[in-house]
Amino acid sequence: MVWSLLRARRRERTQRRQRYQPACEVLEDRTVPDAATFTADFNTARSNQAMLDSFLAHGSNDQLTTTMAAQVAQGDVAVEQHLSQDAAELQYQVSVSLATQLGTLFQQEMQLLSQENQQIQAIAQVLATPLARGTPALSQFLGASLRQVQAQEAAFINYFSAAQNNVVSGLMPAYNFFENIKALAASNLARDKTFAPPATPAGATLADPTLLTLNLNPLDINLLGLEIKTSAIQITVSAQPGQGELLGNLLTDVANLLNLQGVNNALNNVLGSVVTLLNSASLSVSGVNSSGPFTNGQVATTPVLDLFIAPVHLNLLGALVDTSPIHLTITAHSGPGLVLGNVITDLANLFNPPLPKKLDLNFINGRLQELLNELNAQIPGIGSAAPTAPAATTTGTERVLSLVVPPINLNLLGLNLKTTQIQANIDAQTGNGDLLGNVITDLLNTLGATPQNLSTLSNNLNALLAKVVGVLNASNLTLASGALGSLSQVLQTLALPNLVNPTGTATAPILNLAIASTDGTTPPVDVNLLGVVVTTSNIQVQLIAQTGDGQVLGNLLYNVANLLNPGGSLNLLTILNVLGL
């Protein structure tokens, strides 16, 4: 019985040793990553997968979403591989620690059990002697001693089993954690492969030939009594592929590679918000005399310009451009505090019926001078914009009118409107075949209009224009209360001044229209209609987005213009994706 018990104990110890032996064997020397490396890889992988979740939430059928998801997934492959390697190394480190601690406990247990076995064997040898078998008292004493040693051995076994369980329970969660990380990395790698770049269609065909549709909401702004209104304007760019349609075929192939619809939607979203903010804003100017002649103008409405342009259709080798009808009106509203409205109203009513039998330019010049004096008295603190001298007339022509619009520099909440000086000249040219030039020259001679009269007329009109531009340049645009808060969250984010450029003030060109001379001497626009010659100076009109605190329109347009910059942040791509939905 004693020997069978000893054999059973020996088998148990052998099985326990075999159970822990694989963990105790160190097969190779490894460099285990530190916690910072693992944490960095883990956080990066988690961020990438969260971004992919966001792309999936927005719909993977969108081509822009698919393209951006593929870029994220491609970059995440290496991260997930590193994370899997880190987890395997750290798991190995845990297993080594586990084996080391278990091995130490096992050796201690073996030493104590060896001592107990020696005692058991000594008692068993004594029990086997004839003396012990023939002496009941000795046999009883030895049996009690044997049971005591066996109980002590069982206690040692229980103790070490509990200690080994504590080691295992303390380290196995970490071991299992890294096992889960390896499984998660493998799953994410498989998922990354599902985000393949969108396939490029083989043929030059489009289900929808429309490439870009810009929608501009109706504009209705009031500039100190001068109201500018437009109809809704739509500009559509389409591709028409086919035989001989070079540009149509080219644009079709390019459109198949890009998600133009997402960019189109994002741009319309921002442009619509810009127009809405402009319509809600009000223009104010300081330096206006509270008791001037235009302080309490009579309330009236005077149409100044009514321009209608029918739909435009252009087809250039398959590249199609279409516009909706465009209706532009400029209306002068006179009344208290409406400086520009009052001035333009008085100018429009300067020469009302009943008309005289003969035109008297001196009378008109006198009325213009009176109007200019009143305007100077109304806004003494605002200077006139400074134009340069008009160009001289050419030989054989008579200057009828020369209008000069000084440079405009108007800041609309960060959307800067800048122009160069714009000059338009109307000259009459006489000679054989110059019917209209001859008629106008003879008419002016009949009226007694001298070159000095005509020059004074131009000067008075230009002085009024210089004052009006001076008022515009000195004015400030103010948003209506709560206008910014009414925007969506993504547009409010897009209106931040430091979204793209974190420091300082930045600018981006939005529009640059230039009509310039090719040689620097001849006018860029030169029209001669039967002796009536119309020429202009160089013309440049710029819209520039400027960022900064309070520059809401500038921030919006600057940031949207930079959303697709090469090497830009993935956060900006996410904003573009949300805007394009």
- 349-371 residue pLDDT tens: 887 888 777 777 888 888 888 88
- Cis geometry, peptide bond prior to residue 354 (ω within 30 degrees of 0): yes
Instruction: Using the predicted structure, report yes or no on whether residue 196 has a pLDDT greater than 70.
Output: no
Q: Quick: pLDDT tens for 65-80.
A: 666 667 667 767 777 7
Q: Which residue's structure tokens are 């206690």? A: 155
Burial 338-374 (b: 16+ CB within 10 A, else e): bbbbbbbbbbeeeeeeeeeeeeebeebbeebeebbee
> Can you tell me the distance from the alpha carbon of 580 to that of 552, in angstroms, rounded to the nearest whole number?
20
- For the ranges 213-227, 260-274, 422-436, 516-530, the lowest mean pLDDT is seen at 260-274
Neighbours of 308 (CB within 10 A): 10
Average pLDDT of the chain is 75
Instruction: Using the predicted structure, report yes or no on whether residue 26 has a pLDDT greater than 50.
Output: no
> Can you tell me the distance from the alpha carbon of 420 to that of 512, in angstroms, rounded to the nearest whole number?
12
Instruction: Using the predicted structure, report yes or no on whether residue 28 has a pLDDT greater than 60.
Output: no
What integer pLDDT is reported at residue 374 of this predicted model? 80
Instruction: Using the predicted structure, report yes or no on whether residue 436 has a pLDDT greater than 70.
Output: yes
Closest CA to 104 of 20, 14, 169: 20
What integer pLDDT is reported at residue 25 of this predicted model? 40
Q: Which two tokens stand for residue 573?
A: 């791509």
**Angle at alpha carbon of residue 118, lines to 114 and 123, rounded to 5°:** 145
What integer pLDDT is reported at residue 478 of this predicted model? 81
Residue 237: which pLDDT band, with cuts at 50, 70 and 90?
confident
% of the chain residues with pLDDT over 70: 68
C-alpha radius of gyration, the chain, whole number: 45
What integer pLDDT is reported at residue 211 of this predicted model? 78
Instruction: Using the predicted structure, report yes or no on whether residue 202 has a pLDDT greater than 70.
Output: no
Q: Which residue's structure tokens are 């929608």? A: 215
Residue 24: which pLDDT band, with cuts at 50, 70 and 90?
very low
Q: Is the CB of residue 330 less than 8 Å from the CB of residue 305?
A: yes
Cα torsion for 37, 42, 44, 49, to the nearest 10°? 160
**Angle at alpha carbon of residue 41, lines to 35 and 45, rounded to 5°:** 140
Instruction: Using the predicted structure, report yes or no on whether residue 312 has a pLDDT greater than 50.
Output: yes
Closest CA to 515 of 417, 393, 420, 396: 420
The mean pLDDT of 564-569, rounded to a whole number, is: 65
Residue 247: which pLDDT band, with cuts at 50, 70 and 90?
confident
What integer pLDDT is reported at residue 102 of this predicted model? 66
Q: Which two tokens stand for residue 283?
A: 């223009």
Q: Is the CB of residue 335 less than 8 Å from the CB of residue 298?
A: yes
Helix and strand totals (H; E) in the chain: 14, 18
Instruction: Using the predicted structure, report yes or no on whether residue 58 has a pLDDT greater than 70.
Output: no
Instruction: Using the predicted structure, report yes or no on whether residue 170 has a pLDDT greater than 70.
Output: no
Q: Is the CB of residue 457 less than 8 Å from the CB of residue 360?
A: no
The mean pLDDT of 247-273, rounded to a whole number, is: 73
Instruction: Using the predicted structure, report yes or no on whether residue 453 has a pLDDT greater than 80.
Output: yes
What integer pLDDT is reported at residue 576 of this predicted model? 58
> Can you tell me the distance from the alpha carbon of 107 to that of 100, in angstroms, rounded to the nearest whole number?
11
Does the predicted model carry a pTM greater than 0.85? Answer: no
Instruction: Using the predicted structure, report yes or no on whether residue 287 has a pLDDT greater than 80.
Output: no
Burial 128-141 (b: 16+ CB within 10 A, else e): eeeebeeeeeeeee
Q: What values do phi and psi take at 62, rounded to 5?
A: -75, 130
- Cis geometry, peptide bond prior to residue 390 (ω within 30 degrees of 0): no
The mean pLDDT of 324-346, rounded to a whole number, is: 85
Residue 495: which pLDDT band, with cuts at 50, 70 and 90?
confident
Which pairs count as long-range contacts for 503-506, CB under 8 Å and 24+ apart, including other chains?
505/546, 505/547, 505/548, 506/546, 506/547, 506/558
pLDDT top residue among 437 and 384: 437
- Name the DSSP class of 524: S
Query: Both ends of the chain: CA-CA distance in Å?
Result: 84
What integer pLDDT is reported at residue 279 of this predicted model? 81
- For the ranges 23-32, 38-47, 288-297, 564-573, the lowest mean pLDDT is seen at 23-32
Q: Is the CB of residue 472 less than 8 Å from the CB of residue 379?
A: no
**Angle at alpha carbon of residue 218, lines to 217 and 223, rounded to 5°:** 125
Q: Quick: pLDDT tens for 127-162.
A: 667 665 666 766 677 677 767 776 776 666 667 666
Instruction: Using the predicted structure, report yes or no on whether residue 199 has a pLDDT greater than 50.
Output: no
Q: Is the CB of residue 580 less than 8 Å from the CB of residue 62?
A: yes
pLDDT top residue among 302 and 495: 302
What integer pLDDT is reported at residue 394 of this predicted model? 62
Burial class (CB in 10 A: 0-12, 13-18, 19+), 382: buried
- For the ranges 104-113, 175-184, 214-223, 328-337, the lowest mean pLDDT is seen at 104-113
Residue 270: which pLDDT band, with cuts at 50, 70 and 90?
confident
- Name the DSSP class of 414: T
pLDDT top residue among 309 and 114: 309
What integer pLDDT is reported at residue 17 of this predicted model? 46
Residue 59: which pLDDT band, with cuts at 50, 70 and 90?
low
> Can you tell me the distance from the alpha carbon of 92 to that of 339, in angstroms, rounded to the nearest whole number?
82
> Can you tell me the distance from the alpha carbon of 433 to that of 222, in angstroms, rounded to the nearest whole number?
47
